[in-house]
Amino acid sequence: MGRENQATIKDVAKRAGVSVASAGRALGNYGKISDETKQKVLAAAEELHYIPNKLAQSMRSHSTKTIAVVVADIQNNFFGAIVAAIEQKAREKGYAVLICNSNEKRELELECLEMLASKQVDGILLASTFTDRKEIPTKYVKTVFEKFPIVTFDRKINGFPFTSVLTDNYAMAYTVTKYLIGLGHDGIATIGSEKEKAVSNTVREREEGYRAALREAGISHDGMCITVDWQKAAETKKRIDILLDYHRITAVIVLNNSIVGEFLNVLDERKMSFPDQISVVTWDDEEHNIYMKMTSVRQPCRKMGELAAASLIEQIEAEEPHPEELTITLNQTLVKRESCRINKTY
C-alpha cells in the first residue's frame, strides 16, 4: 500500500464512531477517555492497519523515544558488543537508537553531538575522546552537555554530573603486569592503539597501571610502551619490529584487540612463536583468543551496555531528573591460558 493510501486518524475515528480528538487521546494514550471508547479506537486502528505519526506524537509529548550512542571506534569489536547490548535494552524499553562514530577525533565527536541535538534525541550515551569539561568548547557545553541527559561509558569526562559506566583499566593492567613479573619477566612491553597520534584515555590508564607494577617490583626501566594505528599496517609493523629489535623483550601486553592480528603477523614473519619465544597477553577476550589459547583480559561489554542504557532511560523518564555524578565500576577478568610461560632466564 502506498503512503497516500494509508489510513489516517480521521479514518480511525470514523470507523470507531468517535471524534478525531477522542481517537487521538486513545491512540496517544493521553487525556481522559473511557476504556470502552479506547478499545473501539484500538480495534478500528488494527482493522485499518493504521500507522501512527511518530513525529506528531513526539511534538505533543516532547519525547522522540530515541537515544543516541556516540562511540570512539565502531570497527572495534569491543564497542560493537556494547552497542548491541545498548540496542537490545533500548528496544525492550521502547526506544530507537541512533549510532555515531567519532573515529577517535574530537572535532568529529562534536559534529556528531551537534547533529544529534538537532534531532532532539531524548538522551545520549557517550564514549568520549574528551577527559575534562575544560577541554570542550563552551558552545557545546551549553547546547549539548548541559541540555541533554548524558551517560558516559568506557570513558569518563571530569567536571560534569554524569553517570559513568567504566572498568578499572589501571588496576587490571597492574594485575596483568604483576602476573608476568611473577613468571620471571622483566622485559615486558605494551602495544596500544592510537588514531592520528591521539592515544585514547583507556590506553593511557593501562600504561599507567603497567608502569606502577614495574616500579613496585623495582624494575629499572620506566616501561617500554609503543602505540600504533592499526589501520596503517606498514607503519605498525615498523614500530613493532623496532620494539623487538632494540629491546630485550620477553613478554608483550597488547592493550587493544584491534592490534592483535597485526602483532601476530609480525611474530609470524620473524619466526617467533608464543609462549616459547615470547609471552603474550591481549585485551578483550574474543573467539580467536580462545582458539589460539591466548591469555586475555575479558571485559564485561554486555553488562556495560545494558547498565549504560538502563541508567540513561531512567534519567529520561524521571519526573524530576536531578543529575548527580555517579561512577559504576565493573570488574574485568584475567583469563589465563597457554600464551605465557615462566621466563627461563629468571
Q: How far is Cα 150 from Cα 144, in angstroms, rounded to an integer?
A: 9
| Beta-strand runs (E) in the chain | 66-71, 96-101, 123-126, 150-153, 163-167, 188-195, 198-199, 224-228, 251-254, 279-283, 295-298, 326-330, 333-335
pLDDT the model gives residue 8: 83
pLDDT the model gives residue 55: 45
Tens-digit pLDDT profile for residues 321-341: 666 789 999 999 999 999 999
327 class by beta-carbon count within 10 Å (0-12 exposed, 13-18 middle, 19+ buried): exposed
Section 93-112 average pLDDT: 93
Tell me the pLDDT band of 22, cut-offs 50, 70 and 90.
confident
pLDDT the model gives residue 5: 59
Section 130-138 average pLDDT: 94
Tens-digit pLDDT profile for residues 155-193: 999 999 999 999 999 999 999 999 999 999 999 999 998
Section 14-19 average pLDDT: 90
Of these ranges, 116-120, 237-241, 322-326, the one predicted with the greatest mean pLDDT is 237-241
Q: How far is Cα 162 from Cα 168, in angstroms, rounded to an integer?
A: 17
Q: How much of the chain, in percent, has pLDDT values that exceed 70? A: 91
**pTM for the full model?**
0.79
Top pLDDT among 60 and 328 is at 328
End-to-end CA distance of the chain: 76
CA atoms within 13 A of residue 172's CA, in its CB half-sphere: 28
Look at residue 1 and tell me whether its pLDDT is greater than 50.
Answer: no
Strands 224-228 vs 198-199: parallel, antiparallel or unpaired:
unpaired
Question: Grid cell 590508564 — which residue?
Answer: 205
pLDDT the model gives residue 60: 47
Question: Grid cell 611474530 — which residue?
Answer: 267
pLDDT the model gives residue 59: 44
Section 85-89 average pLDDT: 96
Cβ–Cβ under 8 Å, residues 211 and 239: no
pLDDT the model gives residue 268: 95
